[in-house]
Amino acid sequence: MHLSLGFSPCPNDTFIFDGLVNKKIDTREFSFDTHLEDVETLNNWALQGKLDITKLSFAVYLKVKDQYELLNSGSALGRGCGPLLIAKKDIPLSEIDNLTVAIPGENTTANLLFSIAFPNAKKKKVMLFSEIENAVINGDVDAGVIIHENRFTYQLKGLVKLMDMGEFWEKTTGNPIPLGGIFIKKSIPAPIRQQLDQLIHNSLQNSYASYPQLSEYVTAHAQEMDESVMRQHIDLYVNQFSLDLGAEGKAAVTALMEAAEKL
């Protein structure tokens, strides 16, 4: 059975899917047409129902829940791993509503968490996540919401953290931060969906077996990232929740969906 599969080129996703797409595990009768894209591209594709299996921001879940089901394996969810609001200098949080803020996509969980923290901040500028730091530095925007590896690089560029929105979410809800998950079309028969869920779990276990060694597949897609940063990235976004969401993970996703519906 040949299926379309989409995830980001970031180390956490390539680490999870390496074994599956490169057949380092037994993929049974399944083969994959793989698409590595920025998560906002994947979010938009899901609105069109483009891919069979795809990484998505949890923020877009409500918009695609009739067509896609969340799998137990492959999610990015945890504590201390949320998006950061950064700027060139300290700015009082009371002024955020009046600032132009770069966000890494309208349908991203980063934008949702920012909206929960600052519901009256409306002057948003949608940008590719990797361009936000420079937009802040160049003064194109007053502040920016950063994700992924930019968490580890913003200070090196002289930028300052105004707020950790993941920390805000954890303190106000008590839940871990649901960032993104792996979704599969409901039109695929349930037994096959379950098999694919298990394969993603097996693929991640395969990568963990040789970690901290990084495969060529991970390093080739990491956009000139230093290997130490790749490992920081994996350590932050890949964890027990990635192997299995479990009750705590599912409760966190439900809480985020409820918060999104109130906006």
List, as residue ranges, the binding site for substrate. 55-57, 109-110
Annotated binding site: 55-57, 109-110
Rounded to whole angstroms, the Cα distance separating 236 from 82 reads 10
Query: Sign of dihedral through CA atoms 117, 118, 122, 128?
Result: negative
Burial class (CB in 10 A: 0-12, 13-18, 19+), 258: exposed
Task: Please state, in angstroms and rounded to a whole number, the distance separating the CA atoms of residues 11 and 121.
Answer: 31
**DSSP β-ladder status, 2-7 and 53-57:** parallel
* Catalytically annotated residue among 148, 201, 221, 233: 148
Residue 148 annotated among the catalytic residues of the structure: yes
- Looking up tokens 């969810």 gives 77
Q: What is the rounded (10 degree) CA torsion for 200, 170, 121, 75?
A: 0
Q: Which residue has the tokens 């966000």?
A: 103
Active site residues: 148
